[in-house]
A and B are shown apart, each in its own frame.
Chain A
Amino acid sequence: MVLTRVKAILWLHTLRLWRYRWSFLNLVLAEAAWVFLFVLGALLFVPGEYLGLAVKSAFWTIVAWTIISQCSSLIGAWMNFFISIGMVEEHILRGISPFKVILGRVVTSFSVILVSLLFISAILNGVFKTNVWAINDPYLLTLSFIALALQGLAYGITIAAISVKTSIPHNMLEIVNFAVIGLLMIPLDRIPGLFAIPFLCVPYVASAHLAKIGASGAQPYMLLEALNISLLETLVMLTIAIYVIKKSEEWIKKNGVRAIGFF
């Protein structure tokens, strides 16, 4: 029964992805165009001889940011649509958690992430004559992206759960995403020693630091600390997400959906 439900949810999102294939391509193109626009602007500050290194560094920061922002916006913000078409009550009546259906949006978000990044890397490799895929430690990089994806999912699903009780403006979500990219760019070795550990404890920062080491082969500064904090943070964020989902489901059953979600 559980497997049938999981299959149904995954089938729903795969089918939607196919039906909205033009919107999907549209989103990929828009994502790539915006990233390219900003990267070009930032690279104006880089001397010609360091361009290859800077492009690679910028690309992997963007990969980390894309995983976080797409997980939170494509999953979290979909709650608005789900509430608007009355699907929350519909699923509760049939004994299926609406949040499990929302979680199925990983199909959409990971498809967008994968295709956008392939497209962006092809543009950057072509324009700047570099190879952004030449990575130092693929295992560490994969591990860091799994942690980032899980943290992004936990964040997306937590705000989706909160949004059935309170109203969260959609553009505030995007502003948080914008602030995150700023944090991801700061190199850990520029933070004074006393603040390095608290800085690593900010969500996503430790995992992004691991990604930087894995991608560019930078000096493995505070590697063990970052690894432990990243693992712990992922567990904490997932626990919070599960707790908030449970509380929100209880709240919906007693009070009904506020029908606001994101706006």
Chain B
Amino acid sequence: MSLKTLIKSGFMLEIYFYKNNRAAFLAMFLWPYLMLALILGMGYFFGSPGAFKQNVQMDVDPVIYYVASTLVAMSALDVMWGVGGNIMWYRWSGTLPYILLSPNRTSTTLIFSYIPRYLLGAFIQLAEFMPLIIIIEGFSSGLMKIGVLVLAITVGMIPLLGFSALFASFLITIEEETNVLSWLNPLILLFSGAFYPAYLLPYWARFISQILPTTYTVELARVAAIIGAPKLAPITFFIGILLGIALVYNFLAYLFMGYGEKKAMERGAI
């Protein structure tokens, strides 16, 4: 089975999922705006944009700041569930043995069949926010900021795929039925500074932030929120870091996924 076939199968799966679950498709459009409205609504009711700028210690637009945060948070959750959480879904539905016995390695199947689904979902969500960004920023500045967000969700996905595959191997190895990811995901977002900047967290929490790929994806996306034209230096800096940690996480995922698969097959833990 070639990688092209895996990518095509992932794409077809997503298209048919949307076609057969129209309510879920509609809900996908509503979620990002609901999340954004909840934080901005609470924020504006309890405080003001002036206090926000003072607290984050940056000259940023709160709406674009949370558009960037929501987009990255939704995409990161999607990757973590789509790759890491899928192992549990396959186990529950009884298809894990087929995935383990398929010609490609499990990590390869999980990642490559997921990539088109991720890109489709993430770009639909970005397209949803585009009118809002253009209204706030104007056409040319808005397009530049959308460009930064495109970079964040595409480059940010690369290390996150390896990171999530590591979780998948962990879930195979521990034979855990309880959904560990459901509480781990919000914690990962918290330490990544998704809705509250990581640099304002306590020292010990900042240490955890530094090893999470999502922290740099969030920071890269937030370059778009800074008032004025986005600067090239921080963009290239964050892309460099993301590509560097992508190498580390994907290499680790490749090693550990093999170990997890072997263990699962030895013990029949599927």
Closest to B179 in A: A26
Asked whether A40 and B23 contact (CB < 8 A) given A33-B183, A45-B43, A50-B47, the answer is no
- With a cutoff of 8 Å between Cβ atoms, the chain A residues found around residue B49 in the complex are 45
Chain A residues with CB under 8 Å of B52's CB are 44-45
A187 touches B45 (CB 8 A): yes
- Grouping DSSP codes into helix (H, G, I), strand (E, B) and loop, the A interface class, with mixed when no group exceeds half, is helix
B140 in contact (CB, < 8 A): no
B26 to chain A, nearest CB (A): 8
Kindly list chain A residues whose C-beta atoms are within 8 Å of the C-beta of B182. Answer: 26-27, 30
Query: Are A42 and B46 in contact, with the CB atoms below 8 A?
Result: yes
Segment at the interface with B among A76-84, A172-180, A237-245: A172-180
Nearest B residue to A167 via CB reads: B23
- List chain A residues, Cβ under 8 A from B37: 182
Report how far A94 CA is from B128 CA in the complex, Å: 51
Most B CB contacts (10 A, CB to CB) among A30, A34, A40, A44 go to A44
Nearest chain A CB to B154 CB, angstrom units: 24
Q: How far is the CB of A37 from chain B (nearest CB, A)?
A: 5
Interface of B is mostly: helix
Interface string of B15-34 (1 = CB under 8 A from A): 00000010110010011001
Partner of B47, one of A38, A45, A172: A45
Known: A26-B180, A33-B187. A175 touches B27 (CB 8 A): yes
B94 within 8 A of A: no
User: How many B residues touch the partner, as a band?
Assistant: 35 or more
Report B35 CB to chain A, min CB distance, Å: 8
Chain B residues lying within 8 Å of A33, measured Cβ to Cβ, are 183, 186-187, 190
In the complex, are the beta carbons of A36 and B183 less than 8 A apart? no
Query: Does B189 count as interface, using CB distance less than 8 angstroms?
Result: yes
Residue of B nearest to A49 (CB): B51
Q: Is the CB of A54 within 8 A of B47?
A: yes
Complex Cα distance, B179 from A40, in Å, reads 25
A220 at the interface (CB under 8 A from B): no
Say if the beta carbon of A41 comes within 8 Å of chain B: yes
In the assembled complex, B55 has its CB within 8 A of some CB on chain A:
yes
A92 at the interface (CB under 8 A from B): no
Q: Answer whether residue A46 sits at the interface, using C-beta atoms and an 8 A cutoff.
A: yes
Interface membership of B39, Cβ < 8 A = yes
Which A17-48 residues sit within 8 Å CB-CB of chain B? 22-23, 26-27, 29-30, 33-34, 36-48
Can you give 15 contacting A-B residue pairs, CB < 8 Å? A37-B196, A40-B195, A41-B39, A42-B43, A43-B47, A44-B196, A46-B51, A46-B55, A47-B47, A47-B51, A50-B46, A169-B24, A172-B27, A182-B38, A263-B21
Give me the interface of B with A, judged by CB distance under 8 Å: 21, 23-24, 27, 30-31, 34, 37-39, 41-49, 51-52, 54-56, 62, 66, 69, 178-180, 182-183, 186-187, 189-190, 194-196
8 smallest beta-carbon distances between A and B, as pairs: A45-B47, A41-B195, A42-B42, A45-B43, A169-B23, A33-B186, A29-B183, A46-B47
